[in-house]
Amino acid sequence: MDGRAIDDQRLKELVKAAVVELIEERRDLVLDLLEEALEDVGLARAIEEGAATPLVRRAEVLQLLDRK
């Protein structure tokens, strides 16, 4: 290390600037990350909802699928 210390405020400014630069230059990457995060949230909610519903027998499910 060269002996220079960076204060918290300066570090915060640098991180913000880096994030803004990333968003501006790699918008596609940021959008992909947000899309994946939203999909993960949706999947987690679906799993929770499914765990809270009563179980059905396989035959009932197959019967419903055959109707369509």
Is the pLDDT at 53 greater than 90? The verdict is yes
The tokens for 29 are: 């990457």
The CA distances from residue 65 to 28, 61, 62, in Å, are 39, 6, 5
pLDDT score, position 67: 82
Look up the pTM and report it: 0.54
C-alpha–C-alpha distance, residues 53 and 50, integer Å = 5
Task: Catalogue the long-range contacts made by 39-45 (C-beta closer than 8 Å, 24 or more residues apart).
Answer: none
